[in-house]
A = this chain, B = another copy of it.
Amino acid sequence: MAITLEQAMAVLAAGEKRAAEINVPSVIAVVDDGGNLKAQHRMDNASLAAIEVSLSKAYTSLATNSSTAALAEQCQPGQPLYGLQTTHKGRIVIFGGGVPLRMNGKLVGAVGSSGGSVEEDVIVAEAAVAAFTND
């Protein structure tokens, strides 16, 4: 039940469509259930920082089996997971835009989107994921 490249490309296409609609040039990444890159696209005019952040969001979401938005609260100073963000040599992202991909309840990958505000990145990532869960 591994995610295929065809599925990953459909996920990216859905995210890119939504990103274009809200005018947010984004980089979107899909990782598989091993946390390894399956596909990544940088839309024209997306920022360079979004390359690494999108992939790290996808990795973080897969590796923690949660959205990165859910980590934001937990990793603040004084909160239970404070410090998680400095582990993994910089691969952990603790703000929204990373969302798990699930098939029949099973974690099979994750999507990460970066390029806009955190709210915009969440919109794009969720649109991307929706294409998969409707699969």
A residues with a Cβ closer than 8 A to B are 2, 4-5, 8-9, 16, 32-44, 47-49, 51-53, 56, 60, 62-65, 72, 75-78, 80-95, 117-118
Contacts and interface: CB of A to CB of B under 8 A. Distances in A.
Contacts of A64: 47, 49
B82 A94 contact: yes
B53 A87 contact: yes
A88 B90 contact: yes
Count this chain's copies in the assembly: 4
Contacts of A5: 16, 41-44
6 contacts: A34-B34, A35-B48, A39-B39, A47-B63, A76-B78, A83-B94
B37 A34 contact: no
Given A34-B35, A40-B39, A82-B94, A47 B76 contact: no
B72 A48 contact: no
Given A35-B36, A51-B36, A95-B81, A41 B9 contact: yes
Contact of A63 (B42, B48, B82, B88): B48
